[in-house]
């Protein structure tokens, strides 16, 4: 068996909600349907993992839920835009070939109509659900990628989470009046809400990891742009202007003569000193 596939299996975690769903399916006689759901979710996450493995990402774990899966990686927000888009989109793409295969199997007479209809609807639901612009779904990750292409990384993370949570509230309040006691709706909404809360609390850590990646020289940036600041600007405020996918040099504007400081030197000062709130003009005279 392929070593990459064994590594993938070793990182799989099945959420207790999925075990509960499997147990209920056995009791209610829907075990075949839950197996198909598990298969679709498994293939979806395997697509993410295959692309991440191709780009040598560090995948910590892959957790499977009844409504999809979540792959936790170390490279969140720290790789090239093209890599992040491919790794994100390759998961939902798996549903397209699964639906195509099911269509072929049905028309060749290898599958009964009831199972075929259920499998197609389930895959379509997973596809649309995962493309919603809500964290930590694939659509939410694409939204974050878009935000980092527009704003500095730190601001992008905050703006993205606020937009994502707003979308979650809109969707939840739109579906709630139709069936206020729908258990799946509440479970999914609570899970997504908790995910937003956890990611919001992790913002300083995510930003710090972004800066550490830059200082480690692991980027392949195509652009170099200046950041113009006043001598009174605090060091932390300056690095908060750093953008993903771009190298910077800092231009400290003074009345006498502008001073230019390389990004790497600014980052080294940030990590080696305890003066993150010190004026940059004082640190680089």
Containing 208, the helix (H) or strand (E) segment is helix 203-215
Domain check: are 52 and 129 in the same one? yes
Domain check: are 176 and 233 in the same one? no
Domain check: are 119 and 229 in the same one? no
> Where does residue 245 fall: left (phi above 0), alpha (psi -120 to 50 degrees), or beta otherwise?
left
- The C-alpha atoms of residue 186 and residue 37 are separated, in whole angstroms, by 20
When pLDDT is cut at 50, 70 and 90, the band that residue 217 belongs to is low
Residue with tokens 């070593």: 3
Domain check: are 235 and 262 in the same one? yes
**169 Cβ neighbours under 8 A, 6+ residues apart:** none
Domain check: are 201 and 233 in the same one? no
Give whichever of 122-126, 222-226, 255-259 has the largest mean pLDDT.
122-126
Rounded to the nearest integer, the mean pLDDT of the chain is: 87
* Catalytic residue selected from 45, 75, 83, 263: 45
Domain check: are 251 and 207 in the same one? no
Go through the chain and tell me how many residues it has: 285
- Look at residue 135 in the predicted model and tell me its pLDDT: 95
Domains held by the chain: number: 2
Last residue of a domain, which of 157, 184, 216?
A: 216
Give the burial string for 37-48 (b: 16+ CB within 10 Å, else e): bbebbbbbbbbb
Domain check: are 133 and 273 in the same one? no
Q: Is 234 exposed, middle or buried, given 0-12, 13-18 or 19+ CB atoms closer than 10 A?
A: middle
CATH of the domain at 240: 3.10.580.10
Mean pLDDT to the nearest integer, 227-246: 93
pLDDT one-digit tens code per residue, 142-174: 999 999 999 999 999 999 999 999 999 999 999
On the question of pLDDT at 7 being above 90, the answer is no
- Distance (Å) of CA 211 to CA 74, 204, 206, 244: 14, 11, 9, 10
Domain check: are 5 and 98 in the same one? yes
> Where does residue 56 fall: left (phi above 0), alpha (psi -120 to 50 degrees), or beta otherwise?
left
Last residue of a domain, which of 216, 234, 253?
A: 216
Domain check: are 140 and 204 in the same one? yes
Domain check: are 82 and 138 in the same one? yes
Domain check: are 253 and 171 in the same one? no
pTM over 0.75: yes
Residue-range definition of the domain harbouring residue 234: 224-284
Last residue of a domain, which of 192, 216, 240?
A: 216
- What DSSP string describes 101-125? HHHHHHHTTSS-HHHHHHHHHHHHH
Q: Is 256 a catalytic residue?
A: no
- Quote the percentage of the chain above a pLDDT of 90: 51
Domain check: are 32 and 128 in the same one? yes
- Look at residue 34 in the predicted model and tell me its pLDDT: 81
């Amino acid at each position: 068996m392929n070593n990459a596939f064994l590594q993938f299996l070793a990182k799989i975690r099945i959420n207790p909600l999925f075990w509960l769903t499997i147990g209920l399916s056995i009791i209610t006689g829907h075990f075949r349907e839950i197996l198909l759901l598990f298969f679709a979710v498994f293939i979806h996450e395997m697509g993410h993992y295959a692309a991440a493995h191709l780009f040598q990402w560090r995948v910590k774990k892959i957790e499977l839920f009844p409504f999809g899966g979540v792959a936790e990686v170390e490279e969140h927000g720290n790789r090239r835009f093209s890599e992040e888009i491919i790794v994100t989109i390759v998961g939902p793409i798996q549903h397209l070939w699964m639906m195509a295969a099911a269509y072929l199997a049905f028309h060749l007479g290898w599958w009964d109509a009831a199972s075929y209809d259920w499998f197609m609807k389930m895959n379509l639901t997973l596809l649309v659900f995962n493309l919603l612009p809500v964290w930590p779904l694939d659509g939410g990750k694409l939204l974050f990628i878009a935000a980092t292409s527009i704003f500095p990384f730190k601001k992008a993370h905050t703006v993205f989470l606020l937009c994502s949570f707003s979308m979650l509230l809109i969707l939840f309040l739109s579906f709630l009046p139709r069936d206020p006691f729908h258990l799946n709706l509440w479970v999914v909404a609570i899970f997504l809400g908790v995910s937003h809360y956890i990611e919001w609390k992790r913002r300083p850590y995510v930003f710090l990891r972004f800066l550490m990646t830059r200082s480690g020289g692991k980027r392949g940036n195509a652009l170099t742009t200046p950041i113009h600041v006043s001598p009174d600007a605090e060091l932390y405020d300056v690095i908060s202007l750093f953008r993903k996918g771009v190298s910077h040099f800092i231009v400290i504007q003074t009345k006498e003569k502008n001073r230019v400081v390389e990004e790497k030197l600014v980052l080294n000062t940030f990590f080696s000193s305890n003066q993150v709130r010190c004026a940059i003009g004082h640190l680089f005279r």
